[in-house]
Amino acid sequence: MCGRFAVTLPPDAMAQLFAATPANDLPDVPNYNVCPTTQIHVIRAGEGQRHLQSMRWGFLPHWYKTPTDGPLLINARAETIAEKPAFRAACRERRCLIPATGFYEWTKDGEGKRLPWYIHRSDGAPLAFAAVWQDWARGEEAFRTCAIVTTGANDRMRQIHHRMPVILEPRDWALWLGEEGKGAATLMRAANEDVLEFYRVDPKVNSNRARGEDLIAPI
């Protein structure tokens, strides 16, 4: 799965990297502890161009009566996304990208304590997670929401966790966004083992209130 990540790229750099037009209400960066239900940076295609905008991380199916009416859907499994009622329409029609600098995963020591790891691209480039989005509204409450697509981990990542986000290379962004016709399903696979590297970080990131650049410092 992917339940926490970091993003440090300024909005203008994100807009340039993804050739997207930025909105005016983007979340503050850097953020070294991006948590579910907060607003995050998302790239979607529409109206003949790409848009960099803010969305709520936590997908809300249209039948939810309130944002807490069902499970918190921060991830969508690649293996079942096309069949699950919550995601199947979004998988066909509303795919997007979520930029990140790195993400966190956890193991446990012999006493059951959670040990955080920070995972990032080995070449230092930003990550682009495959994701899907959905508009949700009830009365005066309205959100544009999203979920990160995950798949089975590659052999190296499996040392930490059995799942990982689907990470897309720049050559695949247009296909995932629906700009190059059909075939996006072929992209929902684990990244090659040499794409990512990881190291232990301080357990203070276990708190969703933790802030600061030192959260991604190796220990």
| Pairwise CA distance, residues 152 & 167, whole Å | 12
Residue 9 has pLDDT above 90, yes or no: yes
- What pTM was estimated for this model as a whole? 0.97
Strands (E), the chain: 5-7, 20-22, 31-34, 39-46, 49-57, 75-77, 95-100, 102-108, 114-121, 127-138, 141-152, 163-165, 196-200
| Pairwise CA distance, residues 179 & 164, whole Å | 25
Has 47 been annotated as catalytic?
no
DSSP H helices in 46-99: 88-93
Residue with tokens 């502890």: 33
Pick the CATH number of 5-216 from 3.40.718.10, 3.40.50.2300, 3.40.50.1820, 3.90.1680.10: 3.90.1680.10
Q: Are 9 and 101 in contact (CB under 8 A)?
A: yes
pLDDT tens-digit profile of 143-195? Answer: 999 999 999 999 999 999 999 999 999 999 999 999 998 999 999 999 999 99
| Pairwise CA distance, residues 147 & 131, whole Å | 6
Strands (E), 59-177: 75-77, 95-100, 102-108, 114-121, 127-138, 141-152, 163-165
User: Chain-wide mean pLDDT for the chain?
Assistant: 96
Catalytic residue, chosen from 2, 91, 96, 146, is 2
Catalytic residue, chosen from 91, 96, 105, 146, is 105
Residue 1 has pLDDT above 80, yes or no: no
Which tokens go with 88?
């199947």
- Which residues, 6+ apart, have CB-to-CB distance to 49 below 8 Å? 20, 21
Residue 206 has pLDDT above 90, yes or no: yes
Has 79 been annotated as catalytic?
no
